[in-house]
């Protein structure tokens, strides 16, 4: 079952369970996918749907930081629930230690030695970890190993 079919099935189940947070989050995901399909004038593959899910997750995390800074605990709870729903559709995330090993291997493969080589490392690294790690954490790890 592809991601699109899984989202449809889970949306129907959320309707039956009267799970409003899950239902609204899945609807938002499906809308984002549909808008991307319209923009690209094609049906998205599972990999492209993962890109949309990651984009939505990043938006939620940014919102979470803003709401926490603003002291909006009511919105913090809602966004945390949405993040949990989104993460259920993403592949299992790499631990920081697993990610560190992949970063070091990629740095060795590319022969990078200084911060100016960061672009080369990131372009080789991102396809390996696509959807399985937070971009900010990856960036921090690469920077720490290149300095």
Nearest to 49 by CA among 35, 65, 67: 35
Q: Cβ contacts of residue 33 below 8 Å, gap of 6+?
A: 4, 7, 44, 49, 52
Tokens of 38: 């319209």
All domains of the chain, ordered by start, with CATH?
3-87 (1.10.1510.10), 96-146 (1.10.10.410)
Beta strands in the chain (DSSP E): none
Q: For the segment 40-65, what is each residue's pLDDT rounded down to a tens digit?
A: 999 989 889 988 998 999 899 999 99
Residue 23 has a CB neighbour count (10 Å cut-off) of: 19
pLDDT category of residue 128 using cuts at 50, 70 and 90? confident
Q: Can you tell me whether residue 131 is helix, strand or coil?
A: coil
pLDDT category of residue 95 using cuts at 50, 70 and 90? confident
pLDDT category of residue 26 using cuts at 50, 70 and 90? very high
Helix axes 46-70, 20-40, angle to 10 degrees: 130
DSSP 63-75: HHHHHHHHT-HHH
The per-residue pLDDT for 9 is 94
The per-residue pLDDT for 32 is 95
Q: Torsions phi, psi of 133, nearest 5?
A: -155, 155
Per the CB < 8 A criterion, the answer to whether 96 and 108 are in contact is: no
């Amino acid at each position: 079952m592809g991601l699109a079919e899984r989202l449809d099935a889970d949306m129907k189940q959320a309707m039956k369970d009267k799970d409003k947070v899950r239902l609204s989050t899945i609807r938002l995901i499906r809308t984002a996918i549909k808008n991307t399909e319209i923009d690209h004038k094609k049906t998205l593959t599972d990999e492209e749907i993962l890109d949309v899910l990651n984009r939505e997750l990043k938006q939620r995390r940014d919102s979470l930081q803003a709401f926490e800074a603003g002291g909006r605990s009511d919105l913090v709870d809602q966004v945390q629930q949405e993040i949990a729903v989104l993460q259920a559709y993403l592949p299992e995330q790499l631990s920081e230690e697993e990610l560190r090993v992949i970063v070091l291997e990629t740095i060795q493969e590319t022969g990078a030695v200084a911060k100016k080589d960061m672009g080369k490392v990131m372009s080789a690294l991102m396809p390996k970890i696509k959807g399985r790690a937070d971009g900010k954490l990856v960036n921090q790890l690469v920077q720490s190993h290149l300095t």
